[in-house]
Chain A
Amino acid sequence: MSFKEEAFYQFIMEKVSNKIGEAKAAALDENLNLIEHGILDSLDFISMLMELEMKFGLDLDFEDVDPSTFTSIQGLCLLLAGEVNATS
């Protein structure tokens, strides 16, 4: 994992921990769809995306992205990493 990916991961885990507690967050399957399983609701998820954009200076574009591919911890990390590679 690159430094950037690690930072994304930490940031997402912090948000998830705030919601369900650290112990539960650490035990989560990283491929679990956070929204379909009620871990985060869509409001939480959008706030998190906006904060990620602000913090890491990203401009996310989901035009043709199937949302189920990035609503898991790992999926979102990969999407963000891809975004960084595409713009850098």
Chain B
Amino acid sequence: MLTLKNKLKETMSNFANCDALYVNKQTISYEQLHNMSLFVASLLPQAATQKADRIALLSHRELTAYAAIIACVMTDKTYVPLNVKAPIERLVSMLLTAQINTLVVSAQYQHLAQEIKTHLPVLELILLEESVLFQNASNNITVIKTAENLSNNIRYIMFTSGSTGKPKGVPISEGNLLAYLDFVVPYCALSADDRASQTFDLTFDLSVHDLFVTWLSGACLYVLPESALFSPGAFIKKHQLTAWFSVPSTGAIMQKFGMLKAHAYPSLKLSLFCGEALPTSMALAWQKSAPHSKVVNFYGPTEATIACGYFELPDDYTEQQVVPIGKAFDHMSFACSSSEELLIAGAQVTSGYLEATAEMNENFQEVITEQGKTVTWYHSGDKVTQHEEGYFIYKGRLDEQIKIQGYRVELPEIEAIAKAFLKNNLVKALVWPKDISSFNKSIFLFVQASKSEDTEQAIIEHMKNQLPHYMQPKKIIWLASMPLNLNGKIDRNALRAMLE
């Protein structure tokens, strides 16, 4: 079986003269991208030890990042993307959890990398400048010998919000990722004539789909500039994109601001949505706006590699207000537990979190089948029902995880940080509006204590130092007493009523 690096090498040479990447108003061919990534590979540590195998990446969606990711694949390194907007303390904690000694940083974030290094002096920084990549765009560096066999099996590590107050690292192996790509690349059926969107932040695992589905197909990846992300209509038209992939929130924003008019995007032939519930009304508006496109809802947690279920929107679908999760990819399995939780098994499920405690790994449960085989079921926390035709319908969460524009947020993580800082256990975080199709959700933090300006400033500052921007509460509401329900628990409905 071909490894990912060998598959990539094949397309890089088969499509050498085709466009691979459009980023920051520049078009890069496969040959150039290949050469640039070999140059980056020559800068990476050569030893094959765990510490040398993991490469953190501090970069935005820019050329240096794409070249570095390919360099990691080509040299069997694990790439660990870091969010440049995340607080330093959070980044340092991720680097420690993943035991990383090497940080590849693009020139514009050099100061941030230096600041991280003051906390982690052992960290080796590798600075990448776009101009240097261009100088190496036509050099074919052959000194990089890539072994036939894989020396390291983990392709990437992504961090997600953890309910205990610390982000969880999810390692995805070569086998996990190939299982995804072997199904999804033929499903998307892109070719050298296609132009595919890149909207996801590199710290969001859906970006992995963008990169490898596009590059294993010989298509061109179009990176949307930051300011086009909430208003992408003009970009799709200008570049005649043929494949789209975003969170449903992006579509909902487009619908809100007049960008989903009928027949607006005739060039699109495939539109994928993933990361949060897909409102049917938006999906139907998208379908009318992109009349030649298939509209597909992808579903899946980071722990099961990008996505593992899909539902193709039928014409004039009206049955549910939210587009169903659908059925599992052919090589994956879905089951519904007695508590209506969706369980996931198959080759895409990770072997477990980094540095996991027994409590963290409770989500993975081994079951011995009648044939004596051991199967690991991942407990998704998503509440579902099964339609008579076999597909699954999303009904909500069984825990307090929410999505903010596709970003997974564990409300207890925010509460844990606030409780520890305020030394007060009467703290509750809520999301509002609660409506599943709302794209401008915010987090509100309720605290039972008398308000003091100093404390409020201090807690806001502390949250900024601990949490990424999408997890920071929009407002703190100080209450004389926390409303309780009949069981003596904090009454979320009563709190929500205060926000109405």
Does B associate with A? yes
Query: A residues touching B (Cβ–Cβ < 8 Å)?
Result: 33, 35-36, 38, 41-43, 45-47, 49-50, 59-68, 71
| Distance A67 CA – B469 CA, assembled complex (angstroms) | 22
**Residues in A whose Cβ lies below 8 Å from that of B85:** 38, 41
> B233 near A: Cβ within 8 Å?
yes
Which residues of chain B (197-234) have a CB below 8 Å from chain A? 225-234
Of the listed residues B230, B237, B261, the one surrounded by the most CB atoms of chain A closer than 10 A to its CB is B230
Neighbour of A60 across the interface among B237, B257, B264, B470, CB < 8 A: B257
Q: Is the CB of B227 within 8 A of A47?
A: no
CB distance from A58 to the nearest CB of B (A): 11
| Distance A50 CA – B433 CA, assembled complex (angstroms) | 14
> B164 near A: Cβ within 8 Å?
no
Q: Is the CB of A68 within 8 A of B225?
A: yes
Render B221-262 as a binary contact track against A, CB cut-off 8 A, 1 for contact.
000011111111110010000000000000001001111010
Neighbour of B257 across the interface among A35, A62, A66, A68, CB < 8 A: A62
Main DSSP-derived SS at the A contact region: loop
**Residues in A whose Cβ lies below 8 Å from that of B261:** 63
CB distance from A41 to the nearest CB of B (A): 6
Q: Is the CB of A63 within 8 A of B264?
A: yes
| Distance A46 CA – B441 CA, assembled complex (angstroms) | 11
- Nearest residue, chain B, Cβ from A35: B227
**Residues in B whose Cβ lies below 8 Å from that of A71:** 227
**Residues in A whose Cβ lies below 8 Å from that of B440:** 43, 46-47, 50
**Residues in A whose Cβ lies below 8 Å from that of B256:** 50
Q: Is the CB of A49 within 8 A of B257?
A: yes
**Residues in B whose Cβ lies below 8 Å from that of A41:** 85, 469
Query: B residues touching A (Cβ–Cβ < 8 Å)?
Result: 85, 225-234, 237, 253, 256-259, 261, 264, 404-405, 439-440, 442, 469-470
- Given A47-B440, A60-B258, A65-B470 contact (CB < 8 Å): no
| Distance A65 CA – B227 CA, assembled complex (angstroms) | 12
- Nearest residue, chain B, Cβ from A50: B440
Q: Is the CB of B225 within 8 A of A63?
A: no
**Residues in B whose Cβ lies below 8 Å from that of A43:** 404-405, 440, 469-470
Q: Is the CB of B234 within 8 A of A36?
A: no
| Distance A60 CA – B228 CA, assembled complex (angstroms) | 16
- Nearest residue, chain A, Cβ from B228: A67
A-B contact pairs, 10 of them (CB 8 A): A33-B227, A35-B226, A36-B226, A42-B229, A42-B230, A46-B230, A46-B439, A62-B258, A65-B234, A67-B232
| Distance A64 CA – B439 CA, assembled complex (angstroms) | 21
- Nearest residue, chain A, Cβ from B261: A63
**Residues in A whose Cβ lies below 8 Å from that of B234:** 62-67
- Starting from the known contacts A43-B470, A45-B230, A46-B253, 18 additional A-B residue pairs (CB-CB under 8 Å) come to A35-B226, A36-B225, A36-B227, A38-B85, A42-B226, A43-B404, A46-B439, A47-B440, A50-B440, A61-B258, A62-B257, A63-B233, A63-B258, A63-B259, A64-B237, A67-B231, A67-B232, A68-B227
CB distance from A64 to the nearest CB of B (A): 6
**Residues in A whose Cβ lies below 8 Å from that of B404:** 43
- Nearest residue, chain B, Cβ from A41: B469
**Residues in B whose Cβ lies below 8 Å from that of A68:** 225, 227-228
Of the listed residues B85, B259, B442, B470, the one surrounded by the most CB atoms of chain A closer than 10 A to its CB is B259
| Distance A55 CA – B231 CA, assembled complex (angstroms) | 21
CB distance from B44 to the nearest CB of A (A): 28
Q: Is the CB of A65 within 8 A of B226?
A: no
- Given A38-B85, A61-B257, A67-B264 contact (CB < 8 Å): no
